[in-house]
Amino acid sequence: MNIIEPVRRIKEKILSLADRILDWIPAGKSRVLILVLGGLVLLAICLTLISIIVHVKKPDTTTVSASAGIPVDELFYPDEPDFLPDLLVDKPNNNWTADDIRPYWQDPGLNNETQWREIAGNAIDKLMEGVK
Residue 43 falls within a domain, yes or no? yes
Q: What pLDDT does residue 61 have?
A: 64
Same-domain status, 51 and 14: yes
CB atoms within 10 A of CB 76: 7
Tell me, yes or no, whether 50 and 85 share the same domain. no
In angstroms and rounded to an integer, the radius of gyration of the C-alpha atoms of the chain is: 46
The yes-or-no verdict on residue 1 having pLDDT over 60 is no
Domain count within the chain:
2
**% of the chain with per-residue pLDDT over 70:** 64
Provide the residue count of the chain. Answer: 132
Q: Residue 28 has what pLDDT?
A: 67
Same domain, 51 and 86: no
Please indicate, yes or no, whether the overall pTM of this predicted structure exceeds 0.75. Answer: no
pLDDT more than 90, % of the chain: 14
Taking 70 as the threshold, does the pLDDT of residue 53 lie above it?
A: yes
Q: Is 84 helix (H, G, I), strand (E, B) or coil?
A: coil
How high is the pLDDT of residue 108? 65
Residue 75 lies inside a defined structural domain of this protein = no
Cα–Cα distance between 100 and 79 in angstroms, integer? 31
Distance CA 33, CA 22 (A): 10
**Quick one: 33 exposed, middle or buried, by C-beta within 10 A (0-12, 13-18, 19+)?**
middle
How many Cβ atoms are within 10 Å of 34's Cβ, its own excluded? 14
Regarding whether 51 and 84 lie in a shared domain, the answer is: no
Is position 62 within any domain?
no
Structural domain boundaries enclosing 13: 4-55
Look at residue 69 and tell me if it is in a domain: no
Is residue 115 one of the residues assigned to a domain? yes
pLDDT for res 14? 84
- Phi, psi angle pair for 125, to nearest 5°: -60, -45
Let me know if residue 23 belongs to a domain.
Answer: yes
Give domain status of residue 93, yes or no: yes
pLDDT reported for residue 123: 93
pLDDT top residue among 49 and 33: 49
Average pLDDT, the chain: 77
Contacts of 30 by beta carbon, 8 Å cutoff, 6+ apart: 22
Average the pLDDT over 71-96 and give the result.
Answer: 65
Tell me, yes or no, whether 118 lies in a domain.
Answer: yes
For residues 50 and 89, membership in a common domain is answered with no
